[in-house]
Structure 1
Amino acid sequence: MFDPVEPLKQPVTFPFSGRTAKNRFLKSAMSERLATFSTFDPSGRGQPTEELVRLYETWAKGDIGIIVTGNIQIKKDHLEATGRNTIIDRDLPSVYLQEWTEVARAAKSQGSLVIGQLNHPGRQVSINIQPYPEAPSDVEQPSTGDVLFGRPTPLTKDGIKDIVDRFTYAASVLHRAGFDGVQLHAAHGYLLSQFLAKRTNMRTDEYGGSLVNRAHILLEIIAAIRRAVQNPSFIISVKLNSQDSIPEGFCIEESIMVAKLLEIAGVDFIEVSGGAYEQTTRSSRDKVTLLYFTGSPELIPSDYKPYTVETREGYFVEYAELLRSHLNLSKVVATGGFRTSQGMANAVSQGAADIIGLARPLTAEPLLVRDILRGEKKTAKGDRFPESPMLRFVASAAQIAEIGNGQDITDFDNAFHVARFIAKMQKEIPAAISEALFL
């Protein structure tokens, strides 16, 4: 008897580390906000908590092939949002090695690979946290709603070396804690993404100008992690924008070129995303025009056969498919917009992606992957929210907190629960927006 989700059950072996994920699912990074936090004392920030461990124990029970943590910050006073970010900073009194070992144990308890996502926000940090942000150039982040940003100071070469060292240090801590690898966040307008985009990188030294120069810091970090960890089975992955969808932002042609450089550098998998905090653009499910048609025709291989439009799901699946056609070894993860097991299976079986990434569906149903693989579910739970990405971000954050605290998960497919949540947010929305910067 034909099994419609058989493609999703297949293991995938990564080309450079040699590690194997037990199936084709990846839990994509979301900011958990379940670490310790002190407004006035940076040394009291960033420690993993019992709630964070419980969250990852729960996701592990969902039989997910790869679990990627929320973005771990590498600098205690440069955080991606107001709130309880996890932090690995060599300047803190402790690196919380024991606590990170517990997180790794929890996430790996059912056979998942666990990857720690590392991040620095660059200019994209609330002025309430850091009034003097650091970035490639002094291009200020536009204010959005009630979130204000300071004008960034361009990083010196010594400052760039410090950033490279901090990413490397954090990766070495996670390796010692038992993590299977790291993911470098080079998407969504954060620091590494700022270096890649001409809009935010006005430098004239070896870290600016040509695309190879703009990718220099990212490649330096990868090489430095390899030297520090000294373990060929340690996975290095990158989250990369397909495009920023803003003028002078990172574009599709550049993304493909960077992906090729990442493959040469030995990156096991690239997770495809898109947009920046300035503007989030995602292709709608029923839009027939493919993303790459906005790029250069020469990027499309002569033997390219488009993914079946009638059954397509996923915000970036067309780009993932195009990117995959330009790579020989590195695996491609398509994340965002998947809701049906059939759509997920089609993306894998028809060659659009090697791995399916899920984020918010797993806050509503942490055991969703297990249920799909068993054939017990065909569709992820929906919600009754009006069209508001910000409300959905905040709602998922609330569900993450519920899982971490061992509470029942609010069902946002219930109109009453949605109405009650929106009423609460109307009182708390300024703080909630500050908490829910781009995941």
Structure 2
Amino acid sequence: MFDPVEILRQPLTFPFSGRTAKNRFLKSAMSERLATFSTFDPCGRGQPTKELVRLYETWAKGDIGIIITGNIQIKKDHLEATGNTIIDRDLPSHYLQEWTDVARAAKSEGSLVIGQLNHPGRQVSINIQPYPEAPSDVEQPSTGGVLFGRPTPLTREGIKDIVHRFAYAASVLHKAGFDGVQLHVAHGYLLSQFLARRTNRRNDEYGGSLVNRARILLEIIAAIRQAVQNLSFIISVKLNSQDSVPEGLSIEESITVAKLLESARVDFIEVSGGTYEQTTRSPQDKPYTVETREGYFVQYAEFLRPHLNLSKIVVTGGFQTAQGMADAVSRGAADIIGLARPLTAEPLLVRDILRGEKKKAKGDKFPESPMLRFAASAAQIAEIGNGQDITDFDNAFHVARFIAKMQKEIPAAISEALFSRPS
């Protein structure tokens, strides 16, 4: 029997940037929603706050090899949610000092820090943006009580503007001391929308074949390299293994995209899955998920592995035990283990695992509801940022109190979460 701690504490050097992560753990991106926000003045949005700095100071103490921030939006009026951080060249300030403070906090104990860049495309609440932009005018269905506007297809000029905005945001993060960026190409956001036939009905050079649908992504990567001019700056991608909706990205297409990303010198690919339209695993996913092992996307990573020679693979989602995490690494399915919600409940979990003080993540007493778990993690993020005690959702009383509070605040969405179950 191998020692899981010895496997998980091994450093890992990335093939193209040459940067080295101190261990095999990655804090995956979650939307912190701790930035400034103004309903009426977009110029008052997106500034990192002292609460955000405190959050990353806390995670830094957890000895995590790589820390990825929550999705940083590239346009001030196209947001995944209120309270998103924003780097927009049209804002009066690009908040360089504030981002420098975030980078310094996240790197204070030797972690690599990477900023996740995103554009929501059609997945922006109608309350934030009634006129979203997307590859095509395919409307996002209402989800959890949130309504979405019908999108306007991006023009070629609009696409070039998006490419330049991603590159600009990356250049700001580089100046602030970040070690790299991650492009969010999963969960149904803009770049994911370009990849999927369901949401990309274009008949120009950005639609049709998979190579065309991936064109904007490859142009963004090239533009970032041009803007940053630093070979040691990490470029990574969060990529859906499959979308799990009709005409969504398939597993075979995802593998092809991953090969294109390796050719574009992407250091690591973090595999994920699903969209707002399909947030739970369904029967059609089962050939690509593993019920007897930890990690929702481990089997997809095993399918992907033979197709990549250099780019590293991160698997996030479903890991609970040090043994299960180390097993995925030792078998070669994953180079790095990504953790998200476990690190909102226990920010120092990685440190405790590497010290041999813990062998598994804390559980929770929630019913089987992704929506409730997302909301609970968001509440814990806010608690960490505000220096408060973290609510223990492994305690049934705390769970019941949280659900009651949520039902009072957003009753329809929480009722849907409580009474719907994965098929």
Partner of 1:406: 387
Between the aligned partners of 2:265 and 2:213, the Cα distance in structure 1 is 18
Partner of 2:37: 37
> Are the counterparts in 2 of residues 8 and 373 from structure 1 also a CA contact under 8 Å?
yes
User: 2:174 matched to 1:175?
Assistant: yes
Between the aligned partners of 1:32 and 1:264, the Cα distance in structure 2 is 32
Read off the aligned partner of 1:338 and give its amino acid letter. F
Partner of 2:376: 395
- Once the two structures are superposed, the pairs formed by residues 96-245 of structure 1 within 5 Å of their partners are 96-245=95-244
How far does residue 430 in structure 1 lie from its aligned partner after superposition?
5.7
Q: 1:354 aligns with which of 313, 332, 335?
A: 335
> Are the counterparts in 1 of residues 296 and 316 from structure 2 also a CA contact under 8 Å?
yes
Between the aligned partners of 1:268 and 1:364, the Cα distance in structure 2 is 29
Between the aligned partners of 1:407 and 1:269, the Cα distance in structure 2 is 34
How many residues align structurally? Answer: 415
1:115 partner SS: strand
Between the aligned partners of 1:283 and 1:312, the Cα distance in structure 2 is 17
How far does residue 431 in structure 1 lie from its aligned partner after superposition?
9.7
Read off the aligned partner of 2:3 and give its amino acid letter. D
- In the alignment, structure 1 segments of 5+ residues that lack a partner are 293-308
Q: 1:430 to 1:173 in 2, by over 3 A?
A: farther
Q: 1:39 to 1:288 in 2, by over 3 A?
A: closer
Between the aligned partners of 1:348 and 1:18, the Cα distance in structure 2 is 20
- Tell me the TM-score normalized by structure 2: 0.95
Partner of 1:69: 69
How far does residue 367 in structure 1 lie from its aligned partner after superposition?
0.1
How far does residue 144 in structure 1 lie from its aligned partner after superposition?
1.9
Q: Deviations over 1:280-314 (max 9, x none)?
A: 24379xx995418xxxxxxxxxxxxxxxx796201
Q: 1:2 to 1:262 in 2, by over 3 A?
A: closer
Read off the aligned partner of 1:330 and give its amino acid letter. S
2:122 partner SS: coil
List structure 1 segments (4+ residues) > 4 angstroms apart after TM superposition: 430-433
- Once the two structures are superposed, the pairs formed by residues 280-299 of structure 1 within 5 Å of their partners are 280-282=279-281, 290-291=287-288
Q: 2:406 aligns with which of 425, 433, 436?
A: 425
> Are the counterparts in 2 of residues 311 and 343 from structure 1 also a CA contact under 8 Å?
no
The alignment's C-alpha RMSD in Å is: 1.8
Q: 1:385 aligns with which of 352, 358, 366?
A: 366
Partner of 2:317: 336
How far does residue 19 in structure 1 lie from its aligned partner after superposition?
0.2
Instruction: Give me the identity figure in percent.
Output: 88
Between the aligned partners of 2:247 and 2:302, the Cα distance in structure 1 is 24
Q: 1:370 aligns with which of 339, 346, 351?
A: 351
How far does residue 6 in structure 1 lie from its aligned partner after superposition?
1.2
Between the aligned partners of 2:205 and 2:128, the Cα distance in structure 1 is 30
Partner of 2:260: 261
> Are the counterparts in 2 of residues 7 and 348 from structure 1 also a CA contact under 8 Å?
yes
> Are the counterparts in 2 of residues 56 and 106 from structure 1 also a CA contact under 8 Å?
yes
> Are the counterparts in 1 of residues 77 and 129 from structure 2 also a CA contact under 8 Å?
yes
1:198 partner SS: coil
Q: Deviations over 1:25-75 (max 9, x none)?
A: 000000001100111110110000000000000000000000000000000
